[in-house]
Structure 1
Amino acid sequence: MRSTRRSLQAVVAVTAATVGLAACSSGGGAQDAPEGGQDLTIAMITHEAPGDAFWDKIRAGAEAAADNLGVTLNYSNDPDAGQQATLVQNAIDSKVDGVAVTLAFVDQVGPAAQAAVDAGIPVVAFNSGIDNYQDYGISMYFGSNEQLAGRTVGQRIQQDAGGKALCVIQEQGHIALETRCAGVTEGFPNTEILYVEGTDLPSVQQTIGSKLQQDPSVTHIVTLGAQVAQAAQQAKTDAGSQAEIVTFDLNADIAQAIENGDIAFSVDQQPYVQGYMAVQALWLNLTNGNDIGGGGPVLTGPSIVDRGNVGPIVEFAQNNTR
C-alpha cells in the first residue's frame, strides 16, 4: 500500500503543477491560448472495443482538456491491432500536431507510433504500454503500473486468507490485462486464469457462473473491468457462490456496490486523468516548449477504492470523472 500512496501523491502533484502552468500560460481561458493554440489538432487513438464504457472516462478527460486549452481533438478507436495502427498512420497523413496513443498491442501499434515520431510529431502513450513506450521513441506515458496493481490485489487476497482466486481476462492477448493477472498470481499464487469474450456480457456471465458451479473452492473473483464485474455479480448470485468480487476500474454502479458491500474493492487507474494529462502534455510541448520526456512514466494508479474511502467517490463516478 505504501507504493500505491506514493504513486497517487506523485500524480496529484504532477496534475496540480501542469494544470497551474496551463492556467498561467493561457491567461485563464481557451480564448486566450498562446498564438497558434487554437489551430492545434491532437489525435487520440485507442484500442477501445464497442460497448466498453471505460473509455467514456478517457474521452471525457481528453475532451475537457481540449476544451480548456482551445485545441481540436480527433478521437478514433479500433480493437483490432492492425486497424489501430492504420488509424495512427491516418493521423500522420493528415498532419496532426500531436498524437496520444494506447499500446495494448505494442508489436503492431508501436511501429506506427514510431513513424509519427520520425515525422516530427510529438507522441505520448497512455493506458497501455508502460514497459515498451520508450522502445518506439515516445516521450511520455500516463497510466498505471499493471504488474504492481495486480500484485497489490493478490497480496490483499492473501491477507484475507483467500483459498483460490479466479482472474477473468476479457480480451486474450491484451498486454495490460495479461499483466494484471500475472501480478495477481505473483501476489496470490493460487490463482486461475479464465478467458471470456468481453464484448458479449451474457456469455461472460454464463462462463463465470459455470466455472463457479464447477469449482466451489473459488473464494475470490478478480475482474479486470467494471462491466465484467457487474456480470460476475449476477453469475455469483445465480451460482449460489459466496466468493468475494474484486475488480479493476470504476463506474457509478461499481462505486455504489462497493459502498453497499457487494464488491470488496476496486483498483482505479483514474482514466479521466490519463485522457486529460495526455492532451495537456502535448499542448504544453507544442505551445510552451515543455519537455514531456526524461522523467519516466507518470503513474495515475493503482488507487484502491474500498468501503472506507468510496463515500465521496460515488458522486464523482456518477459524473463520469472517476
Structure 2
Amino acid sequence: MAEARAGRDRGDRGGRRRTRRAVGALLAVGLCAAALAGCSATGGKRAEDRAKRLAANGSAVNTPRWTFAMVTHSGAGDTFWDIVQNGAKQAAQKDNIKFLYSNSDQGDQQAQLVQAAIDQHVDGLIVTLAKPDAMKAAVTKAVKAGIPVITVNSGAEQSRQLGALTHIGQDETVAGNAVGDELNARGRKHALCVLHEQGNVGLEQRCAGVKAHFHGTLDKVYVDGTNMPDVQSAIEAKLQSDPSIDSVVTLGAPFAPTAAKAKQEAGSKAEIDTFDLNAQVAASLKDGTLGFAVDQQPYLQGYEAVDLLWLYRYNKDTLGGGQPVLTGPQIVTKDDADALLAYTKRGTR
C-alpha cells in the first residue's frame, strides 16, 4: 500500500511537472506571438502614418526628405524664373523634397549663395552658369563635397567640365540659329538684338546664333535689364536713328512689351520678336503685337532638374549620356497662341 501510494505520488509530481512545462511553453509561444503582433502592428502603424503624411503633402514617393537648393542668376522682377520655380516646386512636392531657392544676377554673389548651400549640407544643388568664371570655384567645391549638381538654363558647355551630372535647357546657339532661320523665312533684312545683361554668355550665344544663320544685317544694343525705361529709350533711339531695322529681337519675355512700346513711340514698322514665353507674350502673339517667340520650356527645366536629382539620390540614375537634356528651342507664333494661353496663365509655360 505504501509503495503504491509512493508510486502514485511520484506519478502525480511528474505529471504536474509536465503540465507546468507545457503551460510554460504555451505561455512563451503566446508572449512571442503577442510581441510579434505588437511589433507588426506598431511598424504597420508607423508606415501607415508616414504614407498619410506623404499623401497630405502631395508626395508620390516614400523616400527621405532630402533638401535641394536652386541658385540662379535671375535679376529682380524677371518672371521667367517664376516659371522655372513653379516646375521645381511641383517636382519637389511629388518627390518629398525640401526646396530652397536663391538668386543674384551678380556672379560673385551667386557664387556666395552656392557656398551658403554647401554650408547647409544640402543633398542636391541646381545652378545656372550664365557667368561661369565667377561660378567655377563654388560649383567645383560643391562637387568635391559630394553634393550632386545639375546645371540648368545656361552653361551647357561648362557643365560637364565642372563635374555636374547633366545640363537641362536649350542650346543657346541652336536657338539663335532657329531665330535666324525664322527671320529669313519672314523676309527680314535688318534685325536688332537686345542684350539685357552684360557678361551673360547665354545671351551672347543667342545673338551670335542669330547672326550665323541670318542672311541680313544684325546689330546689337546693350541695355540695363533692371531698368525698363532705359530699355525702352535705348531701343527707341536705335529705331529712330535707323528706319531700315525691320525686326527687334529681345532675349527675354519681359522685354518684349517694352520693345513694342519703343516701336510705337519711334513710329517704326519693325516686327517685335522674342526669346521666351509668358502670358503677356502669348496674348501679344495672338493679337499680332509680336511676330514669334522662342519657347525653351522653363517649367520643364525646373521640374526635370529636381526630378533628376531625386532619381540620382534614389537610384544613381542619370539622363543625357554626358550630353545636355534639351528642352528647346520651339518657335511659337499666332497659330499656337490659343493653346498656350491657358498654360501661361497658370504659370507653367
Q: Offset of 1:202 from its aligned partner?
A: 1.1
Q: Offset of 1:222 from its aligned partner?
A: 0.4
Q: Offset of 1:138 from its aligned partner?
A: 0.8
Residues 59 and 93, structure 2, Cα contact 8 Å, conserved in 1: no
Other-structure match for 1:157? 183
Q: Match for 1:122 among 114, 136, 148?
A: 148
Q: Offset of 1:234 from its aligned partner?
A: 0.4
Other-structure match for 1:296? 323
Cα separation, partners in 2 of 1:223 and 1:35, compared to 1, 3 Å:
closer
Equivalents in 2 of 1:31, 1:159: separation in Å? 46
Which structure features the higher share of helix residues? 2
Other-structure match for 1:34? 62
C-alpha offsets along residues 15-68 of structure 1, whole Å, 9 cap, x if unaligned? xxxxxxxxxxx99985562342x2x00010001101111110011111111111
Equivalents in 1 of 2:318, 2:159: separation in Å? 16
Q: Offset of 1:210 from its aligned partner?
A: 1.0
Cα separation, partners in 2 of 1:155 and 1:28, compared to 1, 3 Å:
farther
Residues 218 and 243, structure 1, Cα contact 8 Å, conserved in 2: yes
Moved more, 304-313 or 27-36: 27-36
Q: How does 1:242-321 map to 2 (within 5 A)?
A: 242-292=269-319, 294-321=321-348
Equivalents in 2 of 1:195, 1:232: separation in Å? 13
Where structure 2 has 5 or more consecutive residues not aligned to the other structure, the ranges are 1-53
SS of the equivalent of 1:264 reads: strand
Q: How does 1:118-197 map to 2 (within 5 A)?
A: 118-188=144-214, 189-197=216-224
Other-structure match for 2:246? 219
Which amino acid in 1 is paired with 2:222?
Y
Equivalents in 1 of 2:217, 2:320: separation in Å? 39
Which amino acid in 2 is paired with 1:108?
A
Residues 110 and 133, structure 1, Cα contact 8 Å, conserved in 2: no
Residues 212 and 218, structure 1, Cα contact 8 Å, conserved in 2: yes
Residues 29 and 69, structure 1, Cα contact 8 Å, conserved in 2: no
Q: Offset of 1:293 from its aligned partner?
A: 5.9
SS of the equivalent of 2:78 reads: coil
Which amino acid in 2 is paired with 1:77?
N
Q: TM-score, normalised by structure 2?
A: 0.82
Q: TM-score, normalised by structure 1?
A: 0.88
Other-structure match for 1:229? 256
CA-based RMSD: 1.6
Q: Offset of 1:294 from its aligned partner?
A: 2.7
Residues 196 and 204, structure 1, Cα contact 8 Å, conserved in 2: yes
Q: What is the aligned length?
A: 295
SS of the equivalent of 1:131 reads: helix
SS of the equivalent of 2:62 reads: coil
More contact order relative to length (CA 8 Å, sep ≥ 6):
1
Moved over 4 A (4+): 26-32
Equivalents in 1 of 2:260, 2:177: separation in Å? 23
Equivalents in 2 of 1:183, 1:306: separation in Å? 20
Which amino acid in 1 is paired with 2:83?
K
SS of the equivalent of 1:165 reads: strand
SS of the equivalent of 2:249 reads: strand
Larger Rg: 2
Equivalents in 2 of 1:144, 1:102: separation in Å? 13
Which amino acid in 1 is paired with 2:240?
Q
Where structure 1 has 5 or more consecutive residues not aligned to the other structure, the ranges are 1-25
SS of the equivalent of 2:280 reads: helix
Q: Offset of 1:288 from its aligned partner?
A: 2.3
**Is 1:91 the counterpart of 2:91 in the alignment?**
no
Which amino acid in 1 is paired with 2:73?
H
Which amino acid in 2 is paired with 1:156?
E
Equivalents in 1 of 2:142, 2:197: separation in Å? 27
Equivalents in 1 of 2:209, 2:60: separation in Å? 46
SS of the equivalent of 2:161 reads: helix
Which amino acid in 2 is paired with 1:183?
G
SS of the equivalent of 1:255 reads: helix
Cα separation, partners in 2 of 1:236 and 1:117, compared to 1, 3 Å:
same
C-alpha offsets along residues 109-149 of structure 1, whole Å, 9 cap, x if unaligned? 12211111111111000000011111101111100011011
Equivalents in 2 of 1:31, 1:307: separation in Å? 37
Residues 63 and 96, structure 2, Cα contact 8 Å, conserved in 1: no
SS of the equivalent of 2:326 reads: strand
Equivalents in 2 of 1:321, 1:109: separation in Å? 28
